[in-house]
Homo-oligomer: A and B are copies of this chain.
Amino acid sequence: MVPLVKLKSFEQFNCSLAQTLSVIGEHWTLLIIRDAFFGLTRFDQFHKSLGISRNVLTLRLKKLVEEGVLHKSEGPGHPEYRLSEKGLALQPILVAMTQWGEQHMPHSEGERIVFTDLQNGRRIRPVSICADDGRVLGPSDLRTQFGPGVWNGESAPRQPDTLTAVLSGVIGTGSDSSEH
């Protein structure tokens, strides 16, 4: 059950995406979280839903509790696992991934899943990147800037200066590049 080669860890990267992947990037973790959003709380429910080994499920649940994504109930009876605030905050990621799957890997018989607004029954919008005035932004509308957590980090994955240069040249189409 122990992998032969220890996987290089995401945690070593001083990158917010890699940090997120260090918590939710293991096989099965996002499907466990999906099931928690669906209201499953008990080990046997997750086990039946996913069909993975009890060993792997135990490891994944333990990690999610340690990371504060799930709360584990203490007390008599079977323990229950429920999403914490930190876990509930993953919902936009899960919905965005589900919508991407619906759009780019559709089922031949039609939609598998539709998210609606409980208040009025209407479909929600596609999860998007929005400017502060609500405009939907595409890949060439976004600038990525580095803050003190990268500059003072011990293990930034590469030089931010280089990255910024690469970014402006390749996906930046705003004033920086159009003036040249």
Chain A residues with CB under 8 Å of chain B are 1, 3-5, 7-8, 10, 13-25, 27, 30-31, 34, 37-41, 48-52, 68, 83, 86, 88-132, 134-135, 137-153, 157-158, 163, 166-167, 169-175
Contact = CB atoms under 8 A, between A and B. Distances in A.
A139 B96 contact: no
A142 B118 contact: yes
B127 A143 contact: no
A169 B110 CA distance: 27
A167 B116 CA distance: 13
A47 to B, nearest CB: 12
A130 B123 CA distance: 10
Given A91-B138, A92-B127, A107-B150, 6 more contacts: A21-B30, A21-B97, A109-B148, A118-B141, A118-B142, A124-B130
Contacts of A98: 16-17, 20
B113 A141 contact: no
For the complex formed by this chain, how many copies does it contain in all?
Answer: 2
Contacts of A3: 3-4
A110 B38 contact: no
Nearest to A82: B170
Contact of A17 (B31, B114, B167): B31
Contact of A129 (B20, B27, B107, B127): B127
A127 B128 contact: yes
B100 A20 contact: yes
A169 to B, nearest CB: 7
